[in-house]
């Protein structure tokens, strides 16, 4: 029989990862990785391609298991949970995958409403109303509801996927590369939207990104991954002063300098 799901108490971390180890054959992906995501913050994972950021995210949302360690979400251990036992937790978080993962045969409204149909007993009319509200919340126009994913721009598809992630009013939001593949203007719009959703809905957000502009604009704290471990955790200002060679390379390369200069200009 499944243990009862209880709410997290006090100011305990929303996500707490301790001594996590992940291997794919002989390849070491994570070695003693530890971090904590605080309630109400936007926490970002960054690092070079292939450093294990998205793998860590997938492990946190119970899509694949690590070799050892602990991952607690809402104060509850998630490693080893069956799909059935993980379901009550999944109702409390929303996920936006890098490519959106929208169903091509469903309209935007149907994609968002599908989550409500699967997890609630609400009537069809109310589901459509809630789905339309979530679509509007992400800044899409009303006529986007009747469109299929193939009829949307890249930025609109990202917003539709975000609307679906918000369908069940989650406490915690996981975003995998929310601005990947977008032009600078569309990416900037997503940056603003993420910060607005965090502030207006009181969300805790854990995201994976390569986008330095997004980090400077939205992240409260950032974990830099490399060499199979966490190289540093802090605010963007703190990390930009790090003496670690890989962190300095990340922040002081041409793109890093440009993003930092733009962030300072906005202040």
What is the arithmetic mean of pLDDT over 169-190? Answer: 92
Average pLDDT of the chain is 89
pLDDT tens-digit series, residues 238-250:
998 888 988 888 8
pLDDT tens-digit series, residues 8-54:
445 799 999 999 999 999 999 999 999 999 999 999 999 888 889 99
Reported confidence tier of residue 149, pLDDT bands at 50, 70, 90: very high
pLDDT at 266: 54
Q: What whole-number distance in Å separates Cα of residue 243 and Cα of residue 248?
A: 6
Judged against a pLDDT cut of 80, whether residue 178 lies above it is answered with yes
pLDDT at 100: 61
The length of the chain, given as a count of residues:
267
Question: How far apart, in Å, do the first and last CA atoms of the chain sit?
Answer: 54
The predicted model scores a pTM of 0.89
Q: Which of 77-86, 124-133, 252-261 has the lowest mean pLDDT?
A: 252-261
Neighbours of 92 (CB within 10 A): 17
Q: What whole-number distance in Å separates Cα of residue 117 and Cα of residue 168?
A: 11
Query: Among candidates 89, 71, 61, 73, which has minimal Cα distance to 13?
Result: 73
Q: Which residues of 37-75 are buried (b: 16+ CB within 10 A; e: fewer)?
A: bebebbbbbbbeeebbbbbbbbbbbbeeebeebebbbbe
Q: Which of 25-39, 165-179, 251-265 has the lowest mean pLDDT?
A: 251-265
Q: Is 109 helix (H, G, I), strand (E, B) or coil?
A: helix
* Structure token pair of residue 262: 């733009």
% of the chain at pLDDT higher than 70: 90
Judged against a pLDDT cut of 80, whether residue 102 lies above it is answered with yes
Reported confidence tier of residue 3, pLDDT bands at 50, 70, 90: very low
């Amino acid at each position: 029989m499944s243990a009862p799901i209880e709410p997290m108490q006090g100011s305990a971390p929303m996500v707490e990862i301790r001594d996590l180890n992940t291997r794919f054959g002989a390849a070491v992906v994570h070695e003693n990785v530890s971090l904590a995501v605080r309630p109400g913050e936007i926490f970002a994972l960054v690092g070079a391609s292939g450093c294990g950021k998205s793998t860590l995210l997938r492990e946190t949302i119970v899509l694949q298991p690590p070799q050892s360690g602990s991952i607690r979400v809402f104060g509850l251990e998630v490693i080893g949970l069956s799909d059935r036992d993980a379901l009550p937790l999944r109702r409390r978080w929303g996920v936006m995958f890098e490519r959106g993962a929208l169903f091509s045969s469903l309209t935007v409204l149907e994609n968002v409403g599908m989550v409500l149909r699967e997890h609630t007993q609400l009537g069809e009319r109310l589901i459509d109303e809630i789905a339309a509200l979530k679509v509007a919340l992400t800044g899409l126009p009303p006529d986007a509801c009747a469109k299929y994913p193939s009829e949307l721009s890249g930025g609109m598809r990202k917003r539709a996927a975000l609307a679906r992630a918000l369908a069940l009013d989650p406490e915690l939001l996981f975003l995998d590369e929310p601005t990947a593949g977008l032009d600078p203007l569309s990416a900037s719009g997503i940056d603003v939207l993420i910060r607005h959703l965090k502030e207006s809905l009181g969300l805790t957000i854990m995201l994976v990104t390569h986008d330095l502009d997004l980090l400077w604009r939205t992240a409260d704290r950032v974990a830099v991954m490399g060499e199979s471990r966490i190289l540093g955790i802090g605010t963007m200002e703190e990390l930009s002063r790090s003496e670690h060679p890989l962190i300095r390379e990340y922040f002081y390369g041409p793109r890093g300098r440009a993003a930092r200069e733009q962030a300072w200009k906005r202040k």
